[in-house]
Chain A
Amino acid sequence: MSLDVVSIRRQFPILDREVRPGIKVVYLDSTATSQKPEPVIEAMNEYYRRFNANIHRGVHTLAEEATAAYELAREKIAKFINAPAAREIIYTRNTTESINLVAYTWARANLKAGDLVILTEMEHHSNLVPWHILAAERGIRLEFIPVTNDGLLDLDVYRSLLSQDPKLVSFTHMSNVLGTITPAAEIIKLAHEAGAITVVDGAQSVPHLKVDVQKLDADFLAFSAHKMCGPTGIGALYGKADLLEAMPPFMGGGDMIKEVKLRSFRPNSIPAKFEAGTPAIAESVGFGAAVDFLTSIGMENVAAHEHEITEYALERLEEIPGVKVFGPSADKKGGVASFTFDGVHPHDVAQILDRDGIAVRAGHHCAQPLHEKFGIPATTRASFYLYSTKDEVDKLVEGIYKVKKVFG
């Protein structure tokens, strides 16, 4: 089934925005953050208008309703990724905090000097720096699955790294630069055979693909609401219940405790154990609405639509003399096209595109080591989502020809 993009676009008020008189936004930066549909904006407004209250702390009607909404959203999110139980979903601020939670709790409880953690060369800084910090603090060892020239992970090297007794394999399910969809199920299976725990960075996969944590057999999965039609300020960490239960708490404070004495405390059970302090309640409601929205459309349909747009975009971009697109072919990637344009810095490309309302990202997209690997300081990135159209791709291509004109 193909998507009814016209009616989907109508639900995103921002897509009607004119960034300059007569110039509508052409939003090709959903990998950085997606736009938000009416039902999500409405759900959060409704929360503030009708049942705003702190959760788990009152018996009054508003507190009951707010608590119920917060927990209902957790159930929706659990179902969305097919988690066995809602208590395996920990609310965080974003993917970054989810990965840090694992690094600060599970890893500090389980890793010691010399222990091997395997990452990949295509990681976002959020799945590199927490491990750098731990390496400096604990002396853990980091090894990296290399990226091949066509933007895939070199699984032969991975297999040989696995013989070195790794304790943890933490990797992205979809590259935010190359778009590469990694063979997560296989990576996880091999890791488990080698006795390692796995963290999947799902920041890009959960918004764009049907992700099933049970099929993947992932131990941890990190993702952000804001990249999947939801609000900023909230994300999630899925973790297998037995792992989460055995982990020490993350931050200390209200809600995460069962009992506090002057000199000691007993932690709450999961998920509350990892949710210290008043959380992002309105945002959880928005997160739940985002999941409902995506579910009603169907993630298979979202993925199919993006594939069609991506295939078209790659074809059109590669026609332009001087443009080089990075990453694998459309069948192996999500809706991301990162490219260089001979003689023009990505910032200048993005700036000139902005004149026509075209929003792309320029830079290293928080993946500096990956850019170094390809010997380029930066790329221009166009990315697509369920509301993207071929017409927008055409505008992008026209825009790049204008860049060529400016730079002669």
Chain B
Amino acid sequence: MDDLYREVIIEHYKNPSYRGHLDPHDISFADNNPLCGDHIQIDLRVDKDGKVTDARFDGHGCAISQASADLLIESIIGKSVEDVKKLGKQDILDMLGIDLGPVRLKCALLSLKVLKAGVYGLGEASDSLVE
């Protein structure tokens, strides 16, 4: 019945591998989903070649938002910041392996929005970052 609540999502929600903070960090950004109050903060360490050497997320929210944050963090460690900037909506959906309606899509994309606002050094996370 629950294609949305695939095991991988429940697993990453209940036992995330990358929940936490990095201190010191090179980039840190946080934002909320105003619809439901989901909150995500992401800390990154970036070396001088522009490679993400470590990353963590923290926050609260639904299984979709928290699992996608954990999967996203897992996927970017070792990647270059330039590659991170290229990530989009479809990458997140591929990681989750599900299709989402417009409301839950916002939950799934919150972490990517926060991440991209952080790497672009923006003051405000905007939806246009994850289209």
B39 CB-CB contact with A under 8 Å: yes
Chain B stretch 52-103: residues in CB contact (< 8 A) with chain A:
60-66
User: Are A363 and B2 neighbours in the complex by a CB distance under 8 Å?
Assistant: no
8 Å CB interface, A337-363 against B? 343-348, 351-352, 355, 362-363
Give every chain A residue within 8 A of B65 (Cβ-Cβ). Answer: 345, 347
Query: Do the beta carbons of A406 and B2 come within 8 Å of each other?
Result: yes
CA distance A382 to B63 in the complex (A): 20
Interface size class of A (residues with CB under 8 A): 10 to 19
Contact B39 A377 (CB under 8 A): yes
The answer to whether B5 and A377 touch across the interface, beta carbons within 8 angstroms, is no
Among A344, A363, A408, find the residue whose CB has the most chain B CB atoms closer than 10 A. A363
Contacts of B4 in A (CB 8 A): 351
In this complex, what residue of B is CB-closest to A350? B62
Q: Is B37's CB under 8 angstroms from A377's CB?
A: yes
Judged by a CB distance under 8 angstroms, whether B130 is at the interface is: no
B2: nearest residue on chain A (CB-CB)?
A406
The listed residue (B5, B60, B104, B107) touching A352 by CB distance below 8 A is B5
Residues of B within 8 A of A (CB-CB), count: 20
Q: Which partner residue on chain A sits nearest B63 by CB separation?
A: A348
Prevailing SS type, chain B contact patch: mixed
Q: Are B62 and A347 in contact (CB under 8 A)?
A: yes
Q: Which of A355, A364, A406 contacts B10 (CB 8 A)?
A: A406
| Complex: A364 Cα to B38 Cα, angstroms | 10
* Interface pair A355/B1, CB less than 8 Å apart: yes
Cα-based distance from A371 to B38 in the complex (angstroms): 13
Residues from chain B with Cβ under 8 Å of A371 in the complex: 37
Instruction: Compute how far the CA of A362 lies from the CA of B104 in the bound complex, rounded to whole angstroms.
Output: 12
A300 to B87, CA, bound (A): 57
B122 on the A face (CB < 8 A): no
Q: How far is the CB of A371 from chain B (nearest CB, A)?
A: 7
Which of B1, B2, B35, B63 touches A345 (beta carbons < 8 Å)?
Answer: B63
Please, which residues of chain A bring their CB within 8 A of the CB of B107? Answer: 347
Within A310-359, the residues touching B (CB, 8 Å) are 343-348, 351-352, 355
Cβ–Cβ contact B37 & A364, under 8 A? yes
B104 contacts A347, CB within 8 Å?
yes
Residue A378 is within 8 A (CB to CB) of chain B in the complex? yes
Could you name 7 residue pairs across A and B whose Cβ atoms are closer than 8 Å? A345-B63, A347-B36, A347-B63, A348-B64, A363-B35, A364-B37, A407-B10
